[in-house]
Amino acid sequence: MNLRDRYDAATAGIEAPFAAVDLAAFRANAEGLLRRAAGKPIRVASKSVRCRALLEDVLAMDGFAGVMAFTLPEALWLASEGVSDDILVAYPTADRTAIAALAENEAAARTITLMVDSPEHLALIEDAAGDRRIRVCIDIDASYRPLGGRVRIGALRSALRTPAEVSAFAERILKRPSLDLVGLMAYESQIAGVGDVPPGRPARGRVIRAMQRQSRLELARRRAAIVRAVRDLTDLEFVNGGGTGSVEKTAAERAVTEVAAGSGLYQPHLFDQYSNFSGRPAALFALPVVRRPARGVATCLGGGYLASGPADAVRLPQPYLPTGLSYDPNEGAGEVQTPLLGHAADLLSVGDRVWFRHTKAGELCERFDALHLIEDGRYVRTVPTYRGEGRTFL
């Protein structure tokens, strides 16, 4: 039985559209991340999973430790549910209500660490938390700036870049008795989040790989110097870096104590464009064929689940099974219907399913309230996504 037949058989009693996770692929991807981390603990990026049950499953595996949350309300919820006793909020918060709730909850305040990179963050936290002690982590700019800084490659995150800037900011934190500086983070998006083998663009791939080599060298030296400068001032519990695309590279840096990863668990199609690792598609969604309007065309219900990021064709979900299907350029992935073209369309009948892969990982869970877990051609169980638990944090 081929993969599509196994998936169809395992979910025969479930009406499409629905989302599913292949547990064997999910676990294989987790084990692949652990091998690449080579003993460094992996903090799980919750935004790439957005399912509490699967977060708990992966955290139960040796080698995964802690959660990297994307909002403070999410972190408070995960802490209240006992998902982890070590939660780092990856992005600064301006949510005064949530900060006050954190300050009032002693257990959560010991569990959750807030991200900061400016004096405004410090003042806001102190104002909302009063004199209650709050754990904080400094976010460091990990972008690559060649040509004397005239070019910037990487995410627009922190304004803190040099050892002097970070240590000066650390000193400001240490002067505030209500704030505990416990960690540093630097996310190298130009390495971890950019595939180096873009399909059909070999020249661009060579440019990307050259940029990433130079960026890695520059960041490794700068990150090590920053860590030394801050450790001269205070002890640190952790130094976090990396992402799915750079796990083994970031873990190799002595200054880094842990790496972050999440997307590699689901292996969305954006992460097929890396030369240093390969994963198995684990998170999928199925749409029903509801029309056959012409020869070589099969129309599915729904499907307009575009990913965030720059508006380009890469943001479209990828028709996966059966193979050989493509979008109608005039309709793409539609809100209520998605026509698919190709010889494979003539093998589909009304009521059949087409299986898709999302461009990104956890964003799929914002479209569905449940994930149907399957393994070895059989249905295992159904678990709620964040949305299915009534939790929509962004």
Average pLDDT over residues 173-200: 94
DSSP E strands: which ranges in the chain? 18-22, 42-45, 64-69, 87-89, 112-116, 134-140, 179-186, 238-241, 258-261, 283-294, 297-301, 318-321, 326-327, 337-341, 353-357, 370-375, 378-384
How far is residue 35's CA from residue 248's CA, in Å, rounded to a whole number? 8
Q: ∠ CA 268-22-63 to the nearest 5 degrees?
A: 80
**Phi then psi dihedrals of residue 241, to 5 deg:** -160, 170
| Average confidence (pLDDT) over 175-199 | 94
Give the C-alpha separation, 236 to 116, whole Å: 15
The pLDDT tens digits for 57-111 are 999 999 999 999 999 999 999 999 999 999 999 999 999 999 999 999 999 999 9
The pLDDT of 137-164, averaged and rounded, is 94
Tens-digit pLDDT profile for residues 128-141: 999 899 999 999 99
Give, for 59, the enclosing helix (H) or strand (E).
Answer: helix 52-59
> Per this entry, what is the length of the chain?
394
Instruction: Tell me: pLDDT of 4 over 90.
Output: yes
What's the pLDDT score for residue 394?
87
Please say whether the beta carbons of 183 and 237 come within 8 A.
yes
What band does 149 get if pLDDT is binned at 50, 70 and 90? confident
Structure tokens at 191: 């390495």
- pLDDT at 312 (0 to 100): 86
Classify the phi-psi angles of 203: left when phi > 0, otherwise alpha if psi is within -120 to 50, otherwise beta: alpha
Tell me, what's the pLDDT at 148? 86
Backbone angles phi, psi at 331, to 5 degrees: -125, -30
**Is residue 209 packed enough to be buried (19+ CB in 10 Å), middle (13-18) or exposed (0-12)?**
middle
When pLDDT is averaged across residues 380-385 and rounded to a whole number, the result is: 98
pTM value is: 0.95
Tell me phi and psi for residue 20, to 5 degrees.
-140, 160
